[in-house]
Amino acid sequence: MKPGVNIYGYVFAESGTGEHTRLLVASVREAGIPYSVIPFTTTLSRQESDFADFGSGKPEFDINIIGVNADQMDVFVEKFGLEALDDRYNIALWAWEIEDFPDWMAEKAVYLDEIWANSSFSARAIAKKVDRPVHPFPLPIRTPRPAARSRYDLGLPEGFLFLFCFDMDSIFERKNPLGLIEAFKLAFPGDSGAHLLIKSINGDRHPEKKRLMQEARGDRKDILLWDRYLDGEEQDMLMAACDAYVSLHRAEGFGLTMAEAMALGRPVIATGYSGNLDFMSADIGYLVPYEIVKVGESNDPYPVDAEWAEPDLRTAATLMRKVTESPAEVVHNVELGRREIHQHHRPAERGRFVAGRLEAVRSEIAGGDPARKRKLNRHQRG
């Protein structure tokens, strides 16, 4: 087989996991590594992302990188067969959001030779449970390049606009939109001219969660709830139209929308916990303090007794007021944040990691490292 990578993943999916694979492809392309992209479409997410970069288009290379999370590895194998893994070095790009990685997911490492995690935080959680090498692969950041459109064209109000975007399928309580609504109300109890837009997708599959958000909003006309898909260009325009981005998450694997907002030069207010700390610090973002609490019931696939963060909503409210009232400090912070993303988190930067890691793997195999020569047969995998 030729040296290069076969990249499997949800490249058409309008989801965070789909974007993970698309960003991986961009990094591999930047590194000049021969590649082929094989779409995997077994997912509930809408499959309308505009993707057309398939490389050679056939799995002809010696290393696989599989952009499929641990919980779907069996589905992947059922779709493509163990033959897709045989006689290749198999890497998976996994995302995970809390510090406790379930045993049943860790078992899926049996298909793999190593794992890349979408942040340092995720890598630490996964490495505690699997017997394969685990490497952090903080996601590369694509800077949105939106067309020039007015807020009126987008159906947005004038005045200071806070934005938060999330997928209802990605665990409502983890994303914590109700906490964000409460923090905004604390920050702006009356008519201040500021607005909050919470933009979600897949609310049709979670009508009770939509109802909770509507009840939390109440009669506040300055809190907007959009549940709709936007194409890539429209999403970029929305990100560029906001004045600040806010995520009061309880846990994040990485936090792509936060990083994209920073790349656009927007202030970002976010819980100071989990994957977003790979690109955020108190010097370049507005980190919200938190306390650690139990995850609790009805948050599958997260274990009931696992832990995550509960952000301090009063401090979040103070920070929301601060970014509307201290423009000089905001300009300084956002410029530092924009430089951080552009200098250290571009696809070209991650491409160097990919090239170096693949070179190390091939060197270890050529040198006779038994751990690298291990090829699981069907009996071992089964």
DSSP calls for 108-132: GGGG-SEEEESSHHHHHHHHTT-SS
Q: Which of 225-239, 244-258, 326-340 is the least confident region?
A: 326-340
CATH of 2-140+346-381, one of 3.40.50.11930, 1.10.3720.10, 3.20.20.140, 3.60.20.10: 3.40.50.11930
More confident residue, 269 or 282: 269
Mean pLDDT rounded to a whole number for the chain: 92
Distance (Å, rounded) from C-alpha 201 to C-alpha 152?
22
Sign of CA dihedral 183, 186, 189, 194: negative
212 φ/ψ angles, rounded to the nearest 5 degrees: -60, -40
Q: Which of 183-187, 274-278, 376-380 is the least confident region?
A: 376-380
Asked if domains 2-140+346-381 and 151-344 share a fold, the reply is yes
Report pTM: 0.92
At 380, is the pLDDT very low, low, confident or very high (cuts 50, 70, 90)? very low
The answer to whether residue 376 scores a pLDDT higher than 50 is no
- Asked if 101 and 124 count as a contact pair (C-beta separation under 8 A), the reply is no
221 secondary structure, DSSP code: T
- Asked if 272 and 248 count as a contact pair (C-beta separation under 8 A), the reply is no
Roughly what angle, to the nearest 10 degrees, separates helices 207-217 and 177-187? 10
Q: What is the mean pLDDT of residues 150-158?
A: 89
At 7, is the pLDDT very low, low, confident or very high (cuts 50, 70, 90)? very high
Q: Please give the pLDDT value at position 327.
A: 78
The answer to whether residue 375 scores a pLDDT higher than 80 is no
The string of pLDDT tens digits covering residues 281-305 is 988 889 999 999 999 999 999 999 9
- Domain-by-domain residue ranges, the chain? 2-140+346-381, 151-344
Distance (Å, rounded) from C-alpha 256 to C-alpha 236?
13
- Cis geometry, peptide bond prior to residue 39 (ω within 30 degrees of 0): no
The string of pLDDT tens digits covering residues 58-115 is 999 999 999 999 999 999 999 999 999 999 999 999 999 999 999 999 999 999 999 9
Q: Please give the pLDDT value at position 232.
A: 84
The answer to whether residue 378 scores a pLDDT higher than 50 is no
Nearest to 181 by CA among 212, 157, 154: 212
At 369, is the pLDDT very low, low, confident or very high (cuts 50, 70, 90)? low
The answer to whether residue 177 scores a pLDDT higher than 90 is yes
Q: Please give the pLDDT value at position 161.
A: 97
Q: Please give the pLDDT value at position 252.
A: 98
Q: Please give the pLDDT value at position 145.
A: 81
Q: Please give the pLDDT value at position 348.
A: 93
The residue whose two tokens read 């939109």 is 177
Q: Which CATH class name applies to 151-344?
A: alpha beta
Label residue 165 left, alpha or beta by phi (over 0 means left) and psi (-120 to 50 means alpha): beta
The residue whose two tokens read 């929301």 is 320
Q: Please give the pLDDT value at position 231.
A: 87
Q: Please give the pLDDT value at position 368.
A: 67
Q: What is the mean pLDDT of residues 130-159?
A: 89
Q: Which of 3-17, 42-56, 116-130 is the least confident region?
A: 42-56
